[in-house]
Structure 1
Amino acid sequence: MTKTKLGVIGGSGLYQIDGLKHAAWQHVESPWGAPSDAVLTGILEGVDMVFLPRHGRGHLHAPGTVPYRANIDALKRLGVTDVISVSACGSFRDEMAPGDFVIVDQFVDRTFARDTSFFGTGCVGHVSLAHPTCPRLGDACEAAARDAGVRVHRGGTYLAMEGPQFSTLAESRMYRESWGCDVIGMTNMPEAKLAREAELCYASVAMITDYDSWHPDHGEVDISDIITTLTGNADKARSLVRRLPELVGAEREPCPHGCDRALDHAILTAPDARDPELVARLDAVAGRVLGR
């Protein structure tokens, strides 16, 4: 058994966690650059918590400029074991309405201008993303949402777009009808990929704000409507987070799905051919297999 340290990455509208004991904001240095903001640490219902506002307090970072590698590295460096990602999204399904939450279990990555891996020339690594989220954490998020009175859907495919613009009507129809996606957002990729490389259990809670642009009765995305829905979703998200410690537990066994052992056979570069500078930057993310 190991001690649980729960990391929460807050999306649009969620910039802090209420009720933390010994709460303190602290800056974390990362070899991958500066994280989005300082992190809020504390204890919630007996479980160590770390909260990171993805866009920074005041919403400074656009989806394409979020320092995803630095964010995940900072969480890993602080000893986080489990990451809950909370983010706003649009819906491609009538039954997934604004105000509902979706526990995402699959992704289609349409981003193209972001750093998507910790690994590269000098230390090549390949992890499996067949199942990019942790079912154990998904169970906890679903139960927490239901306990909080949130209408929640278990399972869904998240289309990650580059942004910052919203979809064209043609794109929205293609993602919904041809590709079979359920929700659309701009921030869960490469975040989920990097969490897997860092051997962190990862779950995605997508908070629906709109119907993108495909819905005949709702038309194009209206940012004023999104902001109104965001406010209500943020309150629901805070209620969900308050219920997570009891469901996740203060201690945890090795992940039954292997998230915390994702690098066991992932590094292909021979030890004597590895770039020492890159290996040094990987000390938190991959230190377990590269040797601290």
Structure 2
Amino acid sequence: MFMSTIGIIGGSGIYELEGIKTIKEHKVETPFGSPSDSIIEAEVEGVTAFFLPRHGRGHKLLPSEVNYRANIYALKKLGVEYIVSVSAVGSLKEELPPRTFVTPDNFIDWTKGKRERTFFGNGIVAHVSAAYPVDEKLREILIDSCRECDVKSSDGGSYICIEGPQFSSRAESEIYRSFGASVIGMTNVPESYLAKEAGMAYATIAMVTDYDCWKEEHCSVDEIMKVMKDNNANANKVVKLVLKKLHENQFEFPKENRVGILTPIDSLSEQQKEIVEVLTK
């Protein structure tokens, strides 16, 4: 069987892809603790991939409670090289209405320092550039798939990540708009930066559910739930096509983390060597 190198991180709905067949459930322990949940290795129309619900099955983890390091490390340990992230966001721009799928090309970290954001430290010194946290070839596959599925999409833009779980105040929302950010969410940082540290290609589908509170437009809970249902249905279509395209074109990409580790390997403990080996393989 072809060994999958594709990982999907999203909500519990990622298990609901039409035609998905579970191959194996992986319970992976890492030096950084446990991932959000078991990782499901599954087949979708002949393509195998690893699926991980970011907030755990049943949506039990706040964005700040997600063990992002364990999630990324576990996927890398299973052989994943390409990560497709799917998450809900608010829009910071008039031209990005609900039901738009945005494929950001950059991130702004506006979290509060509560999240573990690096694999390094404690005796391992390394520096990896986050100038381009999104892999451009993978992002192109996402945007092409959105277009082929007739899903309204937007190419590029910045995703500002806040700590949550509260949504923004009106004043905060106006500040984020002044930054030029396109969408606002709570999960893609440090997830994207950790993927970069792990030498993985990462790109995200940011699904707009509503305008953030800057816009004088009230949405009822029923309206938001309808948008989320529509977004999930479209995400399932897009992800299936992404899997097909990526399976057919597993492109090479630069793994910058291999040159970013400054500490001599022979000075590391056995566990530290294992961490470096997994991240740089």
| Counterpart AA for 2:6 | L
**Alpha-carbon deviations, 1:109-167, whole Å to 9, x = none?**
01121000000131111111111101111111111111222101010100000001000
What RMSD in Å do the two structures reach over aligned CA positions?
A: 2.0
- The normalised TM-score by structure 1 is 0.89
State the partner residue of 1:161.
Answer: 162
Kept in 2, the 8 Å contact 1:125–1:268? The answer is yes
State the partner residue of 1:182.
Answer: 182
State the partner residue of 1:122.
Answer: 123
Give how far 1:78 is off: 0.9
**Alpha-carbon deviations, 1:61-96, whole Å to 9, x = none?**
100000101110111111111100000000011110
Q: Give the SS at the match of 2:80.
A: coil
Give how far 1:98 is off: 0.6
Alignment of 1:72-111 (within 5 A): 72-111=72-111
| Counterpart AA for 1:238 | N
| Counterpart AA for 1:226 | I
Q: In 2, distance between residues paired with 1:239 and 1:95?
A: 23
Distance 1:4 1:15, change over 3 A: closer
Q: Give the SS at the match of 1:280.
A: helix
Alignment counterpart, residue 230 of structure 2, candidates 229, 232, 238 = 232
Alignment counterpart, residue 239 of structure 2, candidates 238, 241, 245 = 241
Q: Give the SS at the match of 2:188.
A: coil
Q: Give the SS at the match of 1:88.
A: strand
Kept in 1, the 8 Å contact 2:14–2:51? The answer is no
Distance 1:186 1:98, change over 3 A: same
* Structure 1 gap ranges (5+): none
Q: In 1, distance between residues paired with 2:277 and 2:224?
A: 40
| Counterpart AA for 1:243 | L
| Counterpart AA for 1:230 | M
State the partner residue of 1:263.
Answer: 257
Q: In 2, distance between residues paired with 1:124 and 1:223?
A: 47
Alignment of 1:135-174 (within 5 A): 135-174=136-175
| Counterpart AA for 1:284 | V
Percent pairwise identity: 41
**Alpha-carbon deviations, 1:159-211, whole Å to 9, x = none?**
000001000101000100x2111100000000000001111100110000111
| Counterpart AA for 2:35 | P
Give how far 1:30 is off: 1.8
| Counterpart AA for 1:267 | I
Distance 1:173 1:22, change over 3 A: closer
Q: Give the SS at the match of 2:7.
A: strand
Q: Give the SS at the match of 1:252.
A: coil
| Counterpart AA for 1:277 | Q
